[in-house]
Structure 1
Amino acid sequence: MSERRRETLTYLVGYALALVLTLGAFAAVKWPIAAAGTTLAIILALALVQVIVQFRCFLHISLSRSSRHDLLLVLFASLIVTLMVSGTLVILFNLRDRMM
């Protein structure tokens, strides 16, 4: 199988998986079959799988030796963004408590 064909197949599989996972999350909300906490857990699990599919199929990040640096870069950037967002939320909730 040629390299171009394999890459196109990876993109198509990734697109199909992303579409199924997104529709699954919408279906879990539109037609709830469980309690709200369980539905939230289902959505979070689908989101985690979605992130893995995006990394593997579209960003071509795997656990092989050659792409470990890319994975570490993405994880570090995610850590920085998480710290910034959580710090902002702490400040905003603190200000809200002081105002009321």
Structure 2
Amino acid sequence: MSAHSIHEEESHGSLGGYLAGFVLAVVLTAASFWLVLHGGFSRETALLGLAALAVVQILVHLVFFLHMNTSSSQRWNVTAFTYTVLTVAIIVGGTLWVMHNVGMNMMSR
């Protein structure tokens, strides 16, 4: 079994797919810069808009460049990615929770 036969059934994308991903990434990046530089939005609206654009940017990279999808051949990659995201969310969320509680308890004294 050669190294080439292992990857033959996997789709590594086409030039059109890479160009579509690149264009989407550039448009989303430009939209983020415009949102910040425009200055016509409230702080909360700008932060929510940036967060939404960031999530879409992550999805574009996952689909167009990392070729993650719901096919059975990608099941382990999606499982590992989901576990990683969950672990990072627990660590970041737990850290923010602990720091908030420490700050609130220190303010009471």
TM value normalised by structure 1: 0.79
> Could you tell me how far apart the structure 2 residues matched to 1:67 and 1:11 are?
19
Which structure carries more helix by proportion?
1
Task: Tell me how far 1:75 sits from its aligned partner.
Answer: 1.1
Instruction: Report if aligned partners of 2:13, 2:67 keep a CA contact under 8 Å in 1.
Output: no
C-alpha displacement of 1:22: 1.1
- Decide which structure has the larger Cα Rg and report it: 2
1:10 corresponding residue in structure 2:
17
Counterpart in 1 of 2:87? Answer: 80
Q: CA deviation at 1:53?
A: 0.5
For these two proteins, the number of residue pairs brought into alignment is 97
Identify which of 85, 93, 98 aligns with 2:100: 93
| Relative contact order, higher structure (CA 8 A, sep 6+) | 2
Q: Measured at CA, do residues 34 and 17 of structure 1 come closer, stay the same or move farther in structure 2, by a change above 3 Å? A: same
Whole-angstrom CA distance in 1 between matches of 2:94 and 2:44:
26
| TM-score after normalising by structure 2 | 0.74
Same amino acid, percent of matched pairs: 34
Match of 2:78 among 57, 60, 71: 71
Q: Specify every segment of 5 or more residues in structure 1 that has no aligned partner in the other structure, as ranges.
A: none
- CA deviation digits over 1:15-52, x for unaligned, max 9? 22111101101111211444444333332221221111
| Superposition RMSD in Å | 2.2
Q: Gapped runs of 5+ residues in structure 2?
A: 1-10
